[in-house]
């Protein structure tokens, strides 16, 4: 950061997300963890994945982002198999104050 930079001087109400890239690299840990957790709490893996996706939606909404179907499909695939995922987005304004993630 530049010398003399003051974070408190930024106007976060006017801040806009211009683009974002989300990269996930996994060699099977998430699938193994989800399988173990589902088993521990007595759920089928498919149901556990649904709960996980709901949690992801809530986390993104909490920061003002609405994932589109492509993002959700890519993340669902990531949950069920060892895979790497990279999503890039160029948010666009919606009728509300939220921005939508749109894969490029």
Is 14 contained in some domain? no
Q: What is the pLDDT of residue 37?
A: 92
- Indicate whether this model's pTM tops 0.75: no
Short-list 81, 21, 22, 9, CA closest to 49? 81
Give me the pLDDT at residue 87, please: 61
| pLDDT for residue 73 | 84
Per-residue pLDDT of the chain (104 residues; tens, 9 = 90+): 456 667 677 676 776 666 777 777 777 888 888 899 999 999 999 999 999 889 988 988 888 878 888 888 888 887 877 666 666 666 665 544 444 444 44
On whether residue 10 sits in a domain, the answer given is no
- Residue 73 domain flag: yes
pLDDT at residue 100, rounded to an integer: 47
> Is 2 within a domain?
no
Domain assignment present for 81: yes
Beta pairing class for 20-25 and 84-89: antiparallel
- Within a domain: residue 96? yes
Domain residues for 33? 21-101
Q: How many domains does the chain have?
A: 1
DSSP letters along 74-104, please? Answer: HHHHHHHSS-EEEEEE--EE-SSS-EEE-B-
């Amino acid at each position: 950061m530049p010398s003399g930079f003051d974070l408190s001087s930024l106007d976060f109400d006017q801040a806009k997300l211009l683009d974002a890239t989300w990269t996930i690299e996994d060699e099977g840990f998430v699938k193994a963890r989800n399988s173990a957790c589902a088993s521990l709490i007595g759920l089928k893996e498919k149901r556990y994945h649904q709960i996980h996706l709901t949690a992801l939606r809530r986390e993104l909404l909490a920061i003002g982002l609405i994932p589109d179907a492509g993002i959700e499909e890519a993340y669902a695939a990531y949950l069920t198999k060892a895979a790497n995922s990279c999503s890039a987005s160029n948010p666009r304004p919606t009728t509300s104050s939220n921005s939508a993630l749109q894969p490029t």
